[in-house]
Amino acid sequence: MNFRTDLALERKELVKGKSIDGIKVDEKQNSECKTTVIDIISENAAKKIGKGVGRYITLEMNAFSDEAAVSDGRLKALIESIESLLPKGEGTVLVAGVGNSDMTSDALGPMTASMIFATRHIDEEVQKTAGFSKKLRPVASVSTGVLGKTGIESGEYIRSICAEVNPQCVITVDALAAGSVSRLGTTVQMSDTGIAPGSGIGNTRKRIDEGLLGIPVIAIGVPTVVNAVSLAAELSGVRADKFNSDVLSQGERLIVAPKDIDLMVKNASYLLALAINCALQPSLTPKELYGLM
């Protein structure tokens, strides 16, 4: 069976106890959030855990559906992680929400993109008139939709916009698949390797990364679904490869979301949007940006 997860941390846990050259792991903890940084620095290591060469930052925190308030610990860890992945400079950033706004478990990207403080169209004179004391970084925001509704791959959509907007980097936001129920709505993953939309549920689309766009791509996501086979294995304590072929066949077709998925996605998208806004506009406070979202 193919263990379906978008999380590098879960891929690393699968090989726990095994020594793999080319992987560096660093952890830190504040009062509200645990941050794990996994650097995959060799192609051999990347092949063994099934993730590309690059940096993966995983934040583990209380469930978004249980904690709606924006806490300093969670927000601070998110902002610092985003800032660490941003390229140096003050060039334009394109934030792209990937996913289907009509499907709650896949609406994280579009909902986050709708709350991004877009500034690319605001010239310096207007900024001064509006009372901004420091120059704002130019930011553009877009929701790509999904191939089944638009007939356009998300990667194609973003690439065509980049040709016109000419951003310094792209930040993509998308819902992810986890291999464990405990990761749903409690984990944020960021990476500098881009994304392959749909890969966690076996519907892989064209990768959105630096190879496609020619500029750095920062991928941010929250797990909102889990494969039914992984769920059954976790709850029963029976290894998935011990299930009979009929169970595997049926289970592989099912993707499960928690019952509070609407609240989870709403709170997660709000916190991600605020963190992205804060990272891109450091001259403004979270309170000021809250009023502009």
CA distances from 92 to 71, 136, 137 (A): 28, 10, 7
Nearest alpha-carbon partner for 100 in 171, 166, 8, 197: 197
CA distances from 51 to 1, 5, 10, 248 (A): 17, 10, 11, 24
Helix (H) or strand (E) holding 178: strand 169-178
* Percent of the chain predicted with pLDDT > 90: 52
pLDDT digits (tens, 9 = 90+) for 217-263: 999 999 999 888 777 777 777 766 666 666 666 666 788 898 999 99
State pTM to two decimals.
Answer: 0.89
- DSSP assignment of 261-274: HHHHHHHHHHHHHH
Using the predicted structure, report yes or no on whether residue 48 has a pLDDT greater than 90.
no
What topology does CATH give the domain 8-290?
A: Rossmann fold (3.40.50)
Task: Identify residue 48 by its one-letter amino acid code.
Answer: K
d(CA 136, CA 134): 6
pLDDT digits (tens, 9 = 90+) for 111-141: 999 999 999 998 888 888 877 878 899 999 9
Domain ranges in the chain are: 8-290
